[in-house]
A and B are shown apart, each in its own frame.
Chain A
Amino acid sequence: MTNSWTDIRNTDLVIIMGGNAAEAHPCGFKWVTEAKANRGAKLIVVDPRYTRSAAVSDMYAPIRPGTDIAFLLGLINYCIQNDKVQWDYTKSFTNAPYLVKEGFAYQDGLFTGYDEAKRDYNRSTWEYEIGPDGFVVADNTLQNPRCVWNLLKQHVAQYTPEMVERICGTPKDKFSKIAVMIGETSAKDKYMTSMYALGWTQHSKGSQNIRTMAMLQLILGNIGVRGGGMNALRGHSNIQGLTDLGLMSNLIPGYLTLPTEKEVSLDTYMSTRGFKPLRPDQMSYWQNYKKFFVSFQKSMWGATATAENSFAYDNLPKLDVPQYDVLRVFELMYQGKMNGYFCQGFNPLLSFPNRKKCTAALSKLKFLVVMDPLDTETARFWENHGDYNNVDTASIQTEVIQLPSTCFAEDEGSTTNSSRWLQWHWAGGTPPGEAKGDIWIMAQLFQRLKALYQKEGGANADPILNLVWDYKDPNDPTAAELAREMNGSVLEDVPDPTDPTKLLLQKGKQMASFATLRDDGKTACGCWIYSGCFNEAGNNMARRDTSDPDNAGVYSKWAFSWPVNRRILYNRASADLTGKAWDPTRKLIEWDGAKWAGYDVPDIVPTAKPDAVGPFIMNPEGTARLFVRGLMRDGPFPVHYEPFESPIANPIAPKIRGNPVARVFKGDMEQFGDAKEFPYAATSYRLTEHFHFWTKHVQVNASLQPEFFVEIGEELAKEKSIKSGGWVRVWSNRGSVRAKVVVTKRIVPLTCDGKKVHIVGIPLHWGFTGVAKKGFGPNSLTPFVGDANIETPEYKAFLVDIEPIVGPVS
């Protein structure tokens, strides 16, 4: 989230699209009801189904799965055509005035530089015009036809309300009503918040879905303000923490990136991470990259990371592919190239697409280790459960080791929520049986591995042998010890440059924040963005002060919000070029003539003059990007691409199937189904009664939603003679499931490009372990393809067929 859960109560308009907050985030949704009840805020819901969120909305519109970009570009087009733009904001705080290089163009769904064979672009023309002074050339009058604004205007022009209806199936009058409501938030004192989740990420163009809404929010002036923002609702209590700490295969903590194999030295690694400002006076905060990186290396390898050995740069693995995402990992397993797999706290057999392929992949492993508080389907993938897991156990030779671990309520530590709040919690119970904390388990593994390296030696021993492990009990580091390490500390005294009798940093002290981290090895910090969470003031994550001056919704003394306890990112954008709040009733920070101050920690150097330094300090431009240069693989502007399995050809580019640069492994393309054989558009989702695959192990939850079902509209049910509460078979080109069926008015057929499209909804929570009735998950059906930029699998839009069947004999 750019903002926080509590800030949602400050909004004028909530749009829930690409998510279903009431259903999947009922506790956070309270802030929407607060905004509605206390501010008179309105709620818009756009979803293929009339959801629980829609049940309390002011405006609902249906949309065909996988067409959100067309809808959103349609909204941008509406705002541009109808002068619903926060002009001062757009001109000063976005890259709208910047000129784009000659040579860049877009035609028929593709940008310049496409290579069909490689399924990739040469992105060299997706760049600004750089002037002789080394800075980007800008036209503040927005007259130049090559400026970002005019290119954007031209790019979105084809997404008329008629085109939106043709692609999305959303009735034009409903789209237009929504456009009017959203357009009103272009006023300087009206804000909209966007709440989204997996409904946007789980597409072959997931990143662009989110980006398109971010662009809309920017031209409306809704980023950095109270009640605005792009608010990703994370699906687990600590999934934000997972990404923050770099648990992606291509990241290290704090969104630093792992080197690639081409980056053989620290110098080559740093050469593409200089982040020289692209406009005069801009902060371009990533210029500090090396300080964060070196401090990370010091926290990992301590005294053995020296300036002479490039701070143990060679200890880091180097990527030979862009990333080892889950799809690639299972592809490698499937090809027999990966022999062992550690599965900690998740359930790939039900979570990854094309379950048949997942089962085949797991069957080729030599060993599988599952660390989980629950008995998961993955740990039991070899067990025959009739139709629900019909495997030939005798033919599977994978050795499976289950390590029972504690659940969140049985251990101490911090979790990072969607609001970026690190909230400390204490153990509420003792773990049952032989269950052990994850930290303990990993410490044991480490100790044994280290002993083996010490005894037997081996390739690349240094990263293990030299790893800093100075915990009080090496067998069981505490959460507090790890948190202090992430916060960082001073390794050597640093004198104050202005007064050599004083110390700037004192050896042995915790870092106050990342602002004083150094690239000379005198500081260590495990995760720079978390610095400040556990400093000399103590464990700031454990703070529980609910004070909130002037009811700003900031709650700055509750827990710790990264970075530096800032609650709203880009908050300098809440004020105009003179430093006054756009909306005086919703002040956040303001310029008092000498410095920035207010309810929140300023997201800018406190003394940076309001008319000089832009609010988007992480970008070398200092502004936000409507045109994203070469930073995304599938285009500097978003384009509507159909899902890989779509009921219609792409109306704007009929020859292009799916996202033209999304990675497709050999053999998976052949497994995509087409609309002739699989006529219905399917989507998957969660239900409020359950939490992923956990709560089917709990009697109360299982009784509230006992049995796997699919949902279809009344018209399709009639056509297929399907009765509500009866049994159906649903199948795709990759698998088949058997389910109860809920026939509902909440799903209606949509007319897309002249064709009637029925939608089949498939919830996710059932499997073959636990106390709920045995069932299937949507991943038996979904395609093995991911987002073009980050490879999140396309779970939200695929094709199926459906027929009524006689149910099993119970």
Chain B
Amino acid sequence: MDLPNPNVQNPKVDLSERDVILRSASPVPPPPERKLASVAKLIDVSKCIGCKACQSACLEWNNMREEVGVNVGVYDNPHDLTPNTFTLMRFTEWVNPDSGNLEWLIRKDGCMHCEDPGCLKACPAPGAIVQYSNGIVDFVHENCIGCGYCVKGCPFNIPRISKVDHKAYKCTLCSDRIAVGQGPACAKACPTHCISFGTKEEMLKQAEGRIKDLKSRGYAKAGVYDPPGVRGTHVIYVLHHADKPEIYAGLPNNPRISPLVDLWKGGAKYAGMAVIAITAAFGLLHHVVAGANRVKPEDEENAKKLASPKGRTP
């Protein structure tokens, strides 16, 4: 049973442009010179006490504040993820039909950092979403156009669009901290070691030990949540009832990228591209037939007038 706590010393990886392996709405970059070890955040739901330290650490590290809301009869505050709240404790009161006992299932919700990221696939803005070779999926806000397609593309309903700057926000897996050898802020704040961070291999091993412990306590269906429908995730859960992920506040049983994204990126995309190509071909034809637009002397004269101080309207 003696299971050592995972290593909390993370290597400084200097995460940068050269580690990007996927970029939204852009050609696949050439394979990077170095391949970083695949990382994962392990959330052991069976150790979670719902203290929300992760939630406050996330707000503090990212220097964001959530508004003081109201109580609507639950412990979840705010009541959903927001452009400021990248992570949220979701509480579910569930009566186990086998034992008749109540179980209070508390799940830390947030970006799962899918190996096959639906948001990135759906995103039409070049370079607004990137994936690094260690698995982190990150939003690059200066490239974001706020269209919200990433929300539609996400099988976990995670990104939120800010009403202030109309850009999409979600957990970055603290890519800024990880770049300098720090674990995510939530993992650092977690008092019960429910959240751990390391290489995915380490985390899966850690999960294995936890599952063994849970099985010894009668949770026969304890298991790890690393859904294959998105080719696995870089945020993984240990669940006491891995056969029923949906009881944990609607964690999808078999998450997949919406077929609409495939349609958009597949048929619709090519149809759209065909339209663009036809338009371009027409333009070329026009060029060939009608020739290029040429600047006439009177155009130059008008431009000079406009550019001179006198020519400007006050």
Q: Say yes or no: B70 contacts A740, CB within 8 Å.
A: yes
Return the contact of A740 from the options B65, B71, B93, B101 (Cβ within 8 A): B71
Q: Say yes or no: A742 contacts B71, CB within 8 Å.
A: yes
Mask of A687-709 contacts with B, CB within 8 angstroms, 1/0 = 01100000000011111111111
In the complex, whether A595 has a CB less than 8 A from a CB of chain B is: no
B70 contacts which chain A residues (CB < 8 A)? 706-707, 740, 773
A726 contacts which chain B residues (CB < 8 A)? 73
Q: Say yes or no: B102 contacts A746, CB within 8 Å.
A: yes
Q: What's the minimum C-beta distance from A767 to chain B, rounded to whole angstroms? A: 14
Chain B, range 69-112, C-beta contacts under 8 Å to A: 69-75, 77-78, 93, 95, 101-106
Q: Say yes or no: B93 contacts A745, CB within 8 Å.
A: yes
A60 contacts which chain B residues (CB < 8 A)? 101-102
B75 contacts which chain A residues (CB < 8 A)? 705, 742
Mask of A734-752 contacts with B, CB within 8 angstroms, 1/0 = 0000001111111000000
In the complex, whether B13 has a CB less than 8 A from a CB of chain A is: no
In the complex, whether B288 has a CB less than 8 A from a CB of chain A is: no
Chain B, range 30-56, C-beta contacts under 8 Å to A: 46-53, 55-56
Q: Say yes or no: B73 contacts A40, CB within 8 Å.
A: no
Return the contact of A26 from the options B46, B49, B60 (Cβ within 8 A): B49
Inter-chain CA distance A725–B68, complex, in Å, is 16
Interface stretch among B134-142, B210-218, B247-255, B272-280?
A: B210-218
Inter-chain CA distance A189–B264, complex, in Å, is 66
Return the contact of A52 from the options B3, B50, B77 (Cβ within 8 A): B50
In the complex, whether B2 has a CB less than 8 A from a CB of chain A is: yes
Return the contact of A772 from the options B48, B68, B93, B193 (Cβ within 8 A): B68
Q: Say yes or no: B48 contacts A689, CB within 8 Å.
A: no
A702 contacts which chain B residues (CB < 8 A)? 68
Inter-chain CA distance A704–B52, complex, in Å, is 8
Interface stretch among A31-39, A114-122, A243-251, A459-467?
A: A31-39
Return the contact of B191 from the options A30, A36, A741, A745 (Cβ within 8 A): A30
Return the contact of B68 from the options A23, A53, A55, A706 (Cβ within 8 A): A706
Chain A, range 22-72, C-beta contacts under 8 Å to B: 22-23, 26-27, 29-30, 33-34, 36-40, 42, 50, 52-56, 58, 60
A707 contacts which chain B residues (CB < 8 A)? 69-71
Q: Say yes or no: A688 contacts B52, CB within 8 Å.
A: yes
Inter-chain CA distance A600–B71, complex, in Å, is 49
Inter-chain CA distance A66–B250, complex, in Å, is 38
In the complex, whether A724 has a CB less than 8 A from a CB of chain B is: yes
Q: Say yes or no: B193 contacts A30, CB within 8 Å.
A: yes
The verdict on A55 contacting B49 (CB below 8 Å), with A29-B191, A700-B66, A746-B93 known, is yes
A709 contacts which chain B residues (CB < 8 A)? 71, 73
Closest to A696 in B: B68
The verdict on A56 contacting B46 (CB below 8 Å), with A26-B53, A742-B71 known, is yes
In the complex, whether B67 has a CB less than 8 A from a CB of chain A is: yes
A700 contacts which chain B residues (CB < 8 A)? 56, 59-60, 65-66
Q: Say yes or no: A29 contacts B66, CB within 8 Å.
A: no
Mask of A374-401 contacts with B, CB within 8 angstroms, 1/0 = 0000000000000000000000000000
In the complex, whether A142 has a CB less than 8 A from a CB of chain B is: no
Return the contact of B102 from the options A52, A53, A745 (Cβ within 8 A): A745
Q: What's the minimum C-beta distance from A480 to chain B, rounded to whole angstroms? A: 31
In the complex, whether A771 has a CB less than 8 A from a CB of chain B is: yes
In the complex, whether B1 has a CB less than 8 A from a CB of chain A is: yes
The verdict on A40 contacting B68 (CB below 8 Å), with A26-B192, A30-B191, A52-B49 known, is no
The verdict on A706 contacting B77 (CB below 8 Å), with A37-B47, A771-B68 known, is yes
Closest to A743 in B: B73
Q: What's the minimum C-beta distance from B7 to chain A, rounded to whole angstroms? A: 16
Closest to B192 in A: A33
Return the contact of B106 from the options A29, A40, A53, A55 (Cβ within 8 A): A55
Q: What's the minimum C-beta distance from B152 to chain A, rounded to whole angstroms? A: 28
B213 contacts which chain A residues (CB < 8 A)? 36-37, 40
Most buried by A among B2, B78, B192, B193: B192
Inter-chain CA distance A706–B74, complex, in Å, is 11
Q: Say yes or no: A56 contacts B49, CB within 8 Å.
A: yes
Q: What's the minimum C-beta distance from A427 to chain B, rounded to whole angstroms? A: 20
For this complex, 7 residue pairs linking A to B, each with C-beta atoms less than 8 Å apart, are A33-B192, A689-B77, A700-B56, A703-B78, A723-B73, A725-B73, A742-B75
Interface residues of A (CB under 8 A from B): 22-23, 26-27, 29-30, 33-34, 36-40, 42, 50, 52-56, 58, 60, 688-689, 699-709, 723-726, 740-746, 771-773
A36-B213, A688-B51, A708-B71 provided; 20 other pairs, C-beta below 8 A?
A22-B49, A26-B49, A26-B53, A29-B191, A30-B192, A33-B192, A33-B194, A34-B193, A40-B216, A55-B103, A688-B50, A689-B77, A706-B69, A706-B71, A724-B73, A724-B74, A725-B74, A746-B102, A772-B68, A773-B68
Q: Which 6 A-B pairs have the closest CB atoms?
A: A725-B73, A724-B73, A22-B49, A703-B66, A55-B104, A707-B71
